[in-house]
Amino acid sequence: MTAFDLPLKKLERDIKHASNYDEYEAACLAYDALSGADDWKAKDESEDYDYKLIQKRVQRLQIARGRGDIHALMSILHEGLHGNLGNIANPALQTHCKIGTKKLIEQFIDEVSLTLEQIVNANEDDVDFYEKLSFFEETAHAFGRSCLMLSGGAGLGFFHAGVVKSLNQRRLLPTVISGASAGSIIGAMLATRTHDELEESLDSQRIYEMFKHWRTFAGLSKDSLFDSSMLENALIELFDLTTFEEAFRKTGRHVTITVSPADLHQHSRLLNAKTSPNAIISQAVRASCAVPIVFSPVQLKAKTPSGDIVPYIPNRRFADGSLMADLPFKRLARLYGVNHSIVSQTNPLAVPFISSRRIDAHSLWDMTTRHIGQLAKSNSVFAIDMIEKMVGNKSAKLAIHKVRSIIDQQYVGDINILPKRQLSNISKVLANPTLESMDELMTSGEQASWPQLHVIERNTKISEKLRYHLAQLKKREAVELRHLAHHTP
């Protein structure tokens, strides 16, 4: 046993039992200093990323910034700025330390941030306003953005509240968010509440009072096992008759709720301010939470310009969003230019089989097991397709089709925040929460997010800077256009 073993063991316990993020971060930093990880961070060299490319890019930015050469800075960024330049977002880089990454990578991100500020504030005798606006529009579009996806998970879904609370406190919430099933409840809170309102709403006592009786047995003679009235009342109290468009105008967040059709030959739908601006959020959430058999499917509602409530997509009913679109990454990518995902995953069908870090398989064993897993999945889908073709009963076909959708989905993102794997989680899936279990789930969500906060901050810093500066330029453009229109004879 070396002289450092006992202090390191103590720091490991401090990390594990930290009561808040500041304690966690301090223990991680102390561990890295003592373990030698800080020396690894200080050295540029590593096989896990192209350090020579990043060194060169930093040098070029520094030289151009020193000269005040704005056009050179714009040209350097246009050459190939993206979130994983030189593999700097490689998850393998996280395995060498408890917190942080290579200093060179952090320096590169800081240099890009400084460069963007220098461009946006440049003298407009050198770079005119519309050249700046065009640069930020093109660069923001090319760079892409991150999204937060909140999975299904029934009673385990309140884990998401802790994750969101942690991200909100650090102001790391992406503006593109999706929620399915239980995740749709927390997604709708993000849609309808500002930063400060979220601080107040994401309280275990408050959430417990809302959902303590969400599961009430309806009887075997009904069309679902549980009465949905308590859930519906809680959702109306939380979200009233707010539409997706009204919510977006208030918070500026692009929040999507996913729902699945309750019949064959229909695809899942993504409800948001772009695709369904007048749809009512509370009804979308109620539909997304309608786990088959557990809750009955739902007729969606919309609000007319005069304020009347009318059916939305008449003659169709919708159910649990996680059945067909737990994590609708590809469609979010098309709608919002998303190319990086943060997933809070509580789906009991997925959590036991995934890791919080997506690290490429290197060993022959890892490659073999991954290939076998992919073969098993594709073979299962093929077998289910064959069974569906042979079955004539419509209800049976629908059930088989839903099973296929569950198997054929992708349940992971670039960053995955997961609850601890423990048998007690199973009992929480369909149980009414206690205040103690609600507290435990939310605390678990907060703690599970802590190892990812530095990673999320690094991976989103440049895209957030780009979109912030673009928004400011667009505001200025709107003001100047109004001023021009006012003075035009």
State residue 85's pLDDT score. 86
Whether 181 is catalytic: yes
- Residue 454 pLDDT greater than 80, yes or no: yes
CATH number assigned to the domain covering 145-353+414-449 = 3.40.1090.10
Question: Which 3 state secondary structure label does DSSP give 149?
Answer: strand
State pLDDT tens for residues 142-190. Answer: 899 999 999 887 778 889 999 999 999 999 999 999 998 889 999 999 9
Q: Do residues 140 and 460 touch, judged by C-beta distance below 8 A?
A: no
**Cα separation, 149 vs 258, whole angstroms:** 11
- Residue 444 pLDDT greater than 90, yes or no: yes
* Residue 38: burial class (beta carbons within 10 Å; 0-12, 13-18, 19+): middle
State residue 485's pLDDT score. 64
* 423-435 burial code (b ≥16 CB/10 A, e <16): eebeebbeeebee
Mean pLDDT of the chain: 84
Measured between alpha carbons, how far is residue 325 from residues 177, 256, 264, 355 in Å?
13, 11, 15, 20
- Residue 381 pLDDT greater than 70, yes or no: no
Whether 320 is catalytic: yes
**Cα separation, 44 vs 60, whole angstroms:** 17
Q: Tell me phi and psi for residue 407, to 5 degrees.
A: -70, -35
Q: By percentage, how much of the chain surpasses pLDDT 70?
A: 77
Spot the catalytic one: 46, 151, 178, 181.
Answer: 181
DSSP letters along 368-430, please? HHHHHHHHHHHHHHHHHHHHHHH---HHHHHHHHHHHHHHTS----SEEE-----THHHHHSS
Per-residue confidence band for 102, with pLDDT thresholds at 50, 70 and 90: very high
State residue 86's pLDDT score. 87
Tokens of residue 166, six digits: 């942690």
State pLDDT tens for residues 106-140. Answer: 999 999 999 999 999 999 988 999 999 999 999 99
Question: What's the average model confidence in pLDDT over 268-280?
Answer: 93
Q: By percentage, how much of the chain surpasses pLDDT 90?
A: 54
**Cα separation, 269 vs 392, whole angstroms:** 26
State residue 373's pLDDT score. 57
Question: What's the average model confidence in pLDDT over 273-300?
Answer: 88
**Cα separation, 299 vs 316, whole angstroms:** 6
Sorted by where each begins, the domain ranges of the chain are 1-19+26-34, 35-142+452-477, 145-353+414-449, 359-409
Least confident of 49-63, 73-87, 192-206, 400-414: 400-414
- Residue 300 pLDDT greater than 80, yes or no: yes
State pLDDT tens for residues 388-422. Answer: 666 665 555 555 555 555 555 566 788 999 888 66
State pLDDT tens for residues 20-30. Answer: 999 999 999 99
How many of the other CB atoms lie within 10 Å of CB of 407? 14
**Cα separation, 243 vs 191, whole angstroms:** 10
- Residue 1 pLDDT greater than 50, yes or no: no
State residue 298's pLDDT score. 87
Higher pLDDT, 435 or 193: 193
State residue 374's pLDDT score. 64
State pLDDT tens for residues 316-344. Answer: 888 776 666 677 889 999 999 999 999 99
**Cα separation, 322 vs 232, whole angstroms:** 19
- Residue 361 pLDDT greater than 70, yes or no: no
Per-residue confidence band for 290, with pLDDT thresholds at 50, 70 and 90: confident
Question: What's the average model confidence in pLDDT over 378-382?
Answer: 58
Least confident of 41-55, 68-82, 442-456: 68-82
Spot the catalytic one: 32, 320, 326, 414.
Answer: 320
